[in-house]
Amino acid sequence: MSNISLFLVLCVPRVVYVLLTDQTAGDTALYSRIATNILSGCGFSASSEPSICEPIIGGYFPGYPFFLSLFYYFDFSNKTVAVATAVIFVLSILYLRRSIEVFTGNVRIALLICVALGLSPLTLGFSRFILIEPILTVFSVLVLAQSLIYLKRQKQIDLLFLLILISISVYFKPTAVIFVAPLLMVFGILKKSKFIFPFSMAALILFVAVLPWELRNRNLGNESLLSGTSNIYPDVKGYHFWLKTWVTTEYERAYATFPVWGGEPYDVQIKKNLFLSESEASHARSLITAHLAGAGKWDAALDSRFHLLAQSRLEHQSLFEFIALRAGQTAAVLLHPANSWGFPLSFSVERPVEWASKDFIYKIAGKAILFVYKFCIFIFFLYFFLYAVRSLLCHWYNFRKNIQRSLSAGSATSNLKASIPKAGSQVARANVEFNASVFQLILLSLALLMASVFLHVFLFFALEHRYFVPVVPWIETAVFYAILVRLRRFR
């Protein structure tokens, strides 16, 4: 299939999906306001009044608002932005096709993987929104493609292009630093004696790229490097710290956090779960109600009290409870059955659910299909990881065993050569190459997934599954590649 044909096959469904759906999400208004302020001369500001122009400090980088402002400058709508993003994503898939061909040497496998990625429901759903995640997914695909090329060819120019991609992606969202994780894994796989030079080159380029914006933030009063917080929302670090000690799903976090950020703390919902008893939940609700009745607002005094509650909970929390909580948060973000992954499958909180309606059946069926698909993807990912590890260990064990036999036989050189698979042993060599290439791709994907989990779940407590959309193409590529190669006709 030619690139033009593949482009049409992948682009048409995405564009139609965007045209038939709404582009508004929770953060859409914020990004649109920043882009409008940029065009009006107000700069990188989220102020509703152009005359105020209070700059955004920390937490946000300017890439996506400036990207939006390019379209707003020509009076294009948000739907046009979403369509353009969908087209750019498909173009990145075409580049990935070339990279997979270089990495695997197999044209058919590259084509089938790219078709599957281009039509994946886990990246299609959020592509309709004016959010950073769709464009960050484009960078994710490009970084994946360039990583495979560098891993195969090991040229410095490929590494330079890869570092430029990562640097640009960080300017769209600081958490894009997770793309450094698979790059470090590439260095580890190559095991070069000149490892220090490419690593130093990577660190220097990323540092120089981020430095200007970080200096700008520091000049405006930001004290922490690459801060995960900003001056857009109220400072509720203590309350956020307390939520981190018991919240397991993004829905619990949303009900407990969004009303505070939105200036309506009376609407906060705190309910018991496996890690929070009813008495603790009731005490927290009473604490908020009593304080608001006296002070009239959420202030530093109330936030400090929640910080003390969080410290008290951590002092009495066992290591097992800590691990179970973090594991539960990770599993809920990735595999929660209620996650819609950007599709219009959410139920309205304001009106009761009509259990027998077509809308209810449609949404439940859609969520079920998404859950089964993502569950299978992650199960296969785990299976192929364990299979590749076992196969490589067995191969290494047999190789060492043959060496020992050769040495004990007295003719080390001739027997050692005989112990290594020769050109005639095509099956043995193919299995070794398959296991090695699959293992490399899985390691890259696992490095990115673990970096994303550490950053979003452990560090920033950002329990939203949309933050993991950029990781999905890596996981799917590894799984589809392993499945296709296991089918002998694709070897």
What tokens were used for 355? Answer: 């259990």
Query: Do residue 387 and residue 453 come from a single domain?
Result: yes
Average model confidence (pLDDT) for the chain? 83
pLDDT at 92 over 90: yes
pLDDT at 303 over 50: yes
In this prediction, residues 17-26 reach a mean pLDDT of 90
Tokens 């790229």 identify what position?
209
Degrees to nearest 5, angle at CA 285 with 282 and 288: 150
Query: Do residue 69 and residue 135 come from a single domain?
Result: yes
Check if the beta carbon of residue 438 is closer than 8 Å to that of residue 485.
Answer: yes
Query: Do residue 267 and residue 416 come from a single domain?
Result: no
Give me the pLDDT at residue 8, please: 94
Give me the pLDDT at residue 40, please: 85
pLDDT at 398 over 80: no
Query: Do residue 205 and residue 260 come from a single domain?
Result: no
Tell me, yes or no, whether 122 lies in a domain.
yes
pLDDT at 409 over 80: no
Expressed as residue numbers, the domain containing 328 is 237-335
Neighbours of 131 (CB within 10 A): 22
The residue from 155, 185, 219 where one domain ends is 219
Length of the chain: 491
How far apart are alpha carbons 190 and 185 in whole angstroms?
9
Query: Do residue 254 and residue 198 come from a single domain?
Result: no
Check if the beta carbon of residue 114 is closer than 8 Å to that of residue 94.
Answer: yes
pLDDT at 182 over 90: no
- The tens digit of pLDDT for each residue in 330-364 reads 999 999 998 999 998 887 655 556 666 788 888 89
DSSP 132-166: HHHHHHHHHHHHHHHHHHHHHH--HHHHHHHHHHH
- The tens digit of pLDDT for each residue in 316-325 reads 888 899 899 9
Query: Do residue 188 and residue 111 come from a single domain?
Result: yes
Tell me, yes or no, whether 188 lies in a domain.
yes
Full-model pTM: 0.87
Give me the pLDDT at residue 121, please: 94
Tell me, yes or no, whether 437 lies in a domain.
yes
**Least confident residue range of 61-75, 118-132, 234-248, 260-274:** 260-274
Tell me, yes or no, whether 48 lies in a domain.
yes
- The tens digit of pLDDT for each residue in 382-395 reads 988 888 777 767 76
Percent of all residues in the chain with a pLDDT value above 70, rounded to a whole number:
83
pLDDT at 427 over 50: no
Query: Do residue 10 and residue 151 come from a single domain?
Result: yes
Tell me, yes or no, whether 284 lies in a domain.
yes
Contact residues for 338 (Cβ-Cβ < 8 A; gap 6+): 251, 367
Query: Do residue 66 and residue 161 come from a single domain?
Result: yes
Number of domains in the chain: 3
pLDDT at 419 over 60: no
Q: How far is CA 387 from the centre of its chain?
A: 25
Q: How far apart are the first and last CA of the chain?
A: 19
pLDDT at 473 over 90: yes
pLDDT at 142 over 80: yes
Check if the beta carbon of residue 464 is closer than 8 Å to that of residue 332.
Answer: no
Query: Do residue 464 and residue 402 come from a single domain?
Result: yes
Tell me, yes or no, whether 346 lies in a domain.
no
What tokens were used for 259? Answer: 């009303």
Highest mean pLDDT among 81-95, 220-234, 307-321, 378-392: 81-95
Tell me, yes or no, whether 135 lies in a domain.
yes
Check if the beta carbon of residue 112 is closer than 8 Å to that of residue 480.
Answer: yes
Degrees to nearest 5, angle at CA 135 with 131 and 139: 145
Neighbours of 460 (CB within 10 A): 17
Highest mean pLDDT among 181-195, 403-417, 462-476: 462-476
Query: Do residue 160 and residue 14 come from a single domain?
Result: yes
Backbone angles phi, psi at 23, to 5 degrees: -105, 0
How far apart are alpha carbons 178 and 445 in whole angstroms?
11
Backbone angles phi, psi at 120, to 5 degrees: -60, 130
How far apart are alpha carbons 93 and 267 in whole angstroms?
44
Confidence of residue 94 (pLDDT cuts 50, 70, 90): very high
Backbone angles phi, psi at 276, to 5 degrees: -135, 120
The residue from 156, 184, 219 where one domain ends is 219
Check if the beta carbon of residue 129 is closer than 8 Å to that of residue 342.
Answer: yes
Tell me, yes or no, whether 88 lies in a domain.
yes
pLDDT at 424 over 50: no
Query: Do residue 186 and residue 245 come from a single domain?
Result: no
Query: Do residue 141 and residue 265 come from a single domain?
Result: no
